[in-house]
Each structure stands twice: as structure tokens, then as C-alpha cells.
Amino acid sequence: MIKLRYICLTAAATLIVTLSSCSSTPTAENPSAPVTSPQATEAVSSNSHSGHGGKEKININTAILSELDKFEAKLGVPALSNKIQASRPYGSPEDLVTKKVITQEQFDQIKDQVGVQEVVLTGEAKDVDYMSKLGLMKGHLLVAQELLDQNQPKQAEPHIGHPVEEIYVDVEEQLNERKVKEFKTTLVSLQDLVKSSPKDSKVKTNFTSSVQAVDGAIAALPADERSKPAFVLQVINELLDSANSEYGAAIADGKITAPIEYQDSRGFVVYANDLYKGISSQVAQADPEAHKAIDASFAELIKVWPTAIPPAKAVKTPNDVTKLVKTIEENSQKVVDKSNTQEQR
């Protein structure tokens, strides 16, 4: 992942639930369709390209770079995510071609997944969006801590910078709405300190303060919602979707060619796994088979990132990771659907 990701994001693309009857279903082309909730989203753009094709649209005007990485991984175009971001705004998906970001042939391969529609999230979907963004922050900080512990401040620094440079702007409005104390300055101070004096004893103190600030922002959500399996599973799948995109962008010819993306995906998976541990007993009680599948898939996923420092050869292919993520999402959906059915009774 490169700095300045998430700029101008109005809603994480992975959280966009297509309008009314346009539900996203995991397919071979779109294996990471989000777990849906009964809450609705409201379209606010008259220029809609959602369609009814059953595939999730990625809003190229607002999508975070880890979402745009899906196009980069599929087309094999280096730095495509950044090229798409640099050429914003787009009036239509076809502008990717007219602005010479990609060729017509390349566009034809992804056109069913490209959109420019903006949405406003409401209800539970908004809360999932909020916690997912904070979860991405947690993932970055987790891997940064690992790298600092291994005396790798230069590798850790980008992951300390990502939360403030790429994500904070996208969650700031919700932080204000929820009356969460500003902590951008805390993150900036930590990043500056790691850059200038990585061995300073204050690094540890500032790091702890940064993690506590993110945890405090998460705690702004109702405790009963944060412990609800159906809610947490949606957050987990948003994190895994981002991890899947990052991992795909990190691998080329079986080798890890982009260490930062590898590390990003590791952090997201580790935090997603931690979240699942907190609800696993409830999921096991609600749906034993779904829990068994999710738990087994997580066990395999964790093996993909043996250490924060990338191994010489990738443990699994991006396709292998996609299959594991899809298994977790499909079984999560069973739990969510069952929960929604029970609530409606």
C-alpha cells in the first residue's frame, strides 16, 4: 500500500450494498462480495452505474486503494490503483479509457465491476463501515508493532503512517458524529517520532497511546452491537476483502514483490482473526457447521503470513487466499441470514 490511500473516500467500496434488489453474490469474478445486512444504503448520485448484473461495483471516484488493487491484481498493471486515483474524478466508467488510464481491451475485462455512483450509508451498514475503517487502522498498527519489535523501524513507519494519511480523513466525519476525541495528532506524533528517533523510549509510550485511541473510537459503538456475531462477521469480511486485495497486489510469479502490501494484508487478517475469536463460541452455538468452516479457513489463512518480514516465496497463491476468504464469507452469510430470520420473528 502506498501513501495517500483512502483520500476523498466517502464510503468504502466494499461496504456498498447495491440498490434495492441488486444484491451482491460471490462469484468467480467477484469472490469477495460483502456480507449483507438488512440495513439499506441510499444512493445520492444521479449518475448510477450499479446495474442489476449481480456484481459489486467499485466506485472509482471514492474507492480506497486496497479496493482498486482488485483491478491491479486482475489486469497485472503495475501501480494501476494509483493511476486510477490520480486521474479522478470520473464522469463515467469509460473515462478510464478516455483518460488513458487503461486500454479498451483492459477495460472490457473489468467493466462490469466499475462504477462511479456515490452512496450514503445508514443504520447498521454505517456502523460496519465505521468499525471496518478503524479495524484497518488496527491492522496497520499491529504489523507496525511487530516490525518495531524486530528492530525494523523503516519497514514499520509506512504502516504507522497509513492510518493517519489514508484512513483518518475517511472516518473523521463519523468520529465527530460519535463525539470521539480527535486523535490524528497522536498518530502524526508517533509517525514523526519513528521517522526521526525510532529508538527513543517515547516511541513505545506514543504507540500505546495511538492504539488506545483507536480502541476508544471503536468503543464509541454500542457494546451489545460490537459483541453481536452478525455485526462482527460483517466487519471481519470487510477486513478480509481488503486483505485479499492487498495480497493479490503483493504477489507476482509466486514471489512477494510488494512487501508493504503483504504486510498490510497480514495485519488485516490477524485483526480479523482476533475479532472472530471473540465471537467464535456464539457462532459455534448458532451454527456449528458454519463455525467449523470459518475456524478451519482462518487456521489456513494465518499460515499465509508466517512472519511480518515476507518469506522468499509466497506460501499460497492469491487464488488460494481468495478461496479461503470466500469460504469464510459464505459461511458468515449463513450465520447473518439465520440471525436476521430470528430477529424478524
- Convert the pLDDT of each residue in 200-210 to its tens digit: 999 999 999 99
Poorest-confidence range of 221-225, 242-246, 307-311? Answer: 242-246
22 in a structural domain: no
For residue 201, give its domain range.
120-221
Arithmetic mean of pLDDT, 107-124: 87
133 and 167 share one domain: yes
Arithmetic mean of pLDDT, 286-309: 97
Q: How many CB atoms lie within 10 A of CB 89?
A: 10
239 and 337 share one domain: yes
Residue 194 pLDDT class (50, 70, 90 cuts): very high
DSSP codes of every residue in 234-291:
HHHHHHHHHHHHHHHHHEETTEE--HHHHHHHHHHHHHHHHHHHHHHHHHHHH-HHHH
248 in a structural domain: yes
Arithmetic mean of pLDDT, 87-100: 89
192 in a structural domain: yes
Nearest-angstrom CA–CA distance, 60 and 197: 38
Cα four-point dihedral sign 101, 318, 211, 127: positive
Is the pLDDT higher at 66 or at 331? 331
Provide the mean pLDDT of the chain. 84
Task: Look at residues 168, 200, 221 and tell me which one is the last residue of a structural domain.
Answer: 221
Task: Look at residues 161, 187, 221 and tell me which one is the last residue of a structural domain.
Answer: 221
Vertex 239: Cα angle to 198 and 125 (nearest 5): 125
154 and 206 share one domain: yes
pLDDT at residue 121 is higher than 90: no
99 and 175 share one domain: no
**In total, how many domains does the chain have?**
3
Q: Which three cell numbers stand for residue 253?
A: 510469479
139 and 234 share one domain: no
Q: How far is CA 45 from CA 59, 118, 197, in A?
A: 11, 5, 46
Arithmetic mean of pLDDT, 230-253: 93
Determine the pLDDT at residue 340.
86
50 in a structural domain: no
Poorest-confidence range of 5-9, 52-56, 138-142? Answer: 5-9
Q: Which three cell numbers stand for residue 105?
A: 481491451
Determine the pLDDT at residue 118.
67
Contact (Cβ atoms closer than 8 angstroms) between residue 39 and residue 124: yes
pTM, full prediction:
0.76
Contact (Cβ atoms closer than 8 angstroms) between residue 256 and residue 262: yes
Task: Look at residues 185, 200, 221 and tell me which one is the last residue of a structural domain.
Answer: 221
134 in a structural domain: yes
